[in-house]
Structure 1
Amino acid sequence: MDKFWAHLIKVQPDPDPWVVVVSALVALVIVGFRMPWQVSRGLITIAHEGGHALMALLTRRKLEGIRLHSDTSGVTLTRGRPTGPGMVLTALAGYLAPPLLGLGAAWLTEQGRITLLVWGVLLLLVCMLLLIRNLYGALILLVTGGAVFALIMYAPADIQQVVALVSVWFLLFGGIRPIIELQHKRRRRQARDSDADQLARLTFLPGGFYVFFFLLVSLASVLFGAYLMNPL
């Protein structure tokens, strides 16, 4: 265990500046273009539903389970009071989870704790797998977790570092696009049960306020994450 802990917390050297810049550009291409975004958007959904689930547990709501669907949507089922702070915080956590997770990952990356970051992601995926209640959700988590485990076991440290950098940028950039998509759907009245509209029914503030709040937190996370990983 002492050897494993030492391996877990070891500090990797800082990446070359061009590696940080290229990884950011790769993540931006993945998020910005339709085809790679459709393939990878499910990873943002995993973080989104994980945020709902974690906040439900922290506010002592009964967590029934999580479902991930092939159209990259998802739902987290909880039981408890239909109103009140617990329900509000649980609804808030979804769209905030990817950018805040990316910000935390950026901090670990800046500290050189790449190994700790990758093992932490694997642990979160395993915990989430225990809460999945549909076959597709279990399959996508097994595939993602298997890829992370293979990265840990077989990839050299410099490859792990590059993958971690791309993943951090992907979480930061990928937290913004679903919020923009949400607002477009709300304008066409196609998202009446979205997190923002549920929050509007739970509080005295309109749904547009929550969309703005989600976007503000996401943009702030990108800026602060970029500051942390600034190669200069």
Structure 2
Amino acid sequence: MDLRTLGHQIVERLLPDAVPAGAWWVPAALLLALAVVVLPPAWRLARLAVTIVHELGHAIVGILLGRRFTGFVVSANMSGHAVTVGPRRGFGRVASTWAGYPAPALVGAVLVQIALHGWAPAALFAALVVLVLSLVFTRSLHTLGAVLGTAAGAGALWWWGSPVLTAVLTLAGGGFLLLGAWRHLGAVIRGGGRADDPAQLAALSPLPGWVWTLSFAVALAACTWWAGSALAPHA
């Protein structure tokens, strides 16, 4: 395969696909997402994606606000930690710390919109690029393997997946990230999750941790409403 042919195929895979015909694929994708979140064996493996998006949310917002992203770690227990360097206090530190929990819900809602409008291939390519670039910032072998595995899955679906399979799995991925964001937040509310973000935000501001947890819930609810309003005509 010459470079011209390869380039042509890449461009073709970035163009929007026709949305699959019929209404079956939307509930099928959402049921798949729900099953992955509810069934413990599936959740134990798949929640890694929620953690990766959570940590990249910290990083991207930090970079946008002038902080320097130095790396992130995803632990074997699926918790994570991202490090940005900059002023120890101030708006940039607060915003980058806050961004973690809403990030999976926002990405999930965007994926729902994208899948319903035929842009799933372009979204998968964008995700692949972000994941490959983030490899530079992994700080453990487990994190490297987790990001590589996620990138390999996104890349394989982008290159070899049929339009129907790509649309179904992109919509399922969006639904999974939305539901997974709520499950992670529920763990924090019950006191059994990674409550370090609300605690850090309480230390960085005059507001108590529960106010920050409530702000996460409001952000997740807004993302859920946005995704739900797009899904409603297909119900």
Is TM-score (shorter-chain normalized) higher than 0.5? yes
Question: What is the match of residue 166 of structure 1?
Answer: 172
1:12 and 1:114 in contact (8 A); partners too: no
Structure 1 counterpart of 2:168, one-letter code: V
Give the corresponding residue for 2:70: 64
C-alpha displacement of 1:78? 1.8
Q: Which residue of 2 aligns with 1:34?
A: 40
Alignment of 1:42-61 (within 5 A): 42-61=48-67
Size of the alignment, in residue pairs? 228
Matches within 5 A, 1:43-192: 43-185=49-191
Kindly, what percent of the aligned residue pairs are identical?
27
- C-alpha deviation, 1:229, in angstroms: 2.7
CA distance in 2, matches of 1:7, 1:26: 24
Which residue identity does 2:101 align to in structure 1?
Answer: Y
CA distance in 2, matches of 1:9, 1:59: 32
Question: What is the RMSD of the two structures over their aligned residues, measured on CA atoms?
Answer: 1.8
Structure 2: runs of 5 or more not aligned: 1-6
Partner of 2:205: 203
CA distance in 1, matches of 2:22, 2:179: 21
Secondary structure at the counterpart of residue 205 of structure 1: coil
Structure 2 SS opposite 1:65: strand
Note the C-alpha offset of 1:3: 6.3
Q: TM-score, normalised by structure 2?
A: 0.90
CA shift in 2, pair 1:147/1:7, >3 Å: closer
Aligned-partner Cα distance in 2 for 1:4–1:135: 30
Contact 2:33-2:175 at 8 Å conserved across structures: yes
Q: Per the alignment, in what secondary structure is the counterpart of residue 191 of structure 2?
A: helix
Distance 1:98 1:145 in 2: 16
Q: Distance in 1 between matches of 2:21 and 2:96?
A: 37
Q: 2:227 matched to which residue of 1?
A: 225
- Taking structure 1 as the reference length, the TM-score comes to 0.91
What is the CA–CA distance in structure 2 between the aligned matches of 1:118 and 1:62, rounded to whole Å? Answer: 26
- Cα 1:16–1:168, aligned 2, differ >3 Å: closer, same or farther? farther
Q: How far does residue 120 in structure 1 lie from its aligned partner after superposition?
A: 1.3
Structure 1 residue runs of 5 or longer lacking an equivalent are: none
Name the structure 2 match of 1:20: 26
* SS of match in other structure, 1:17: coil
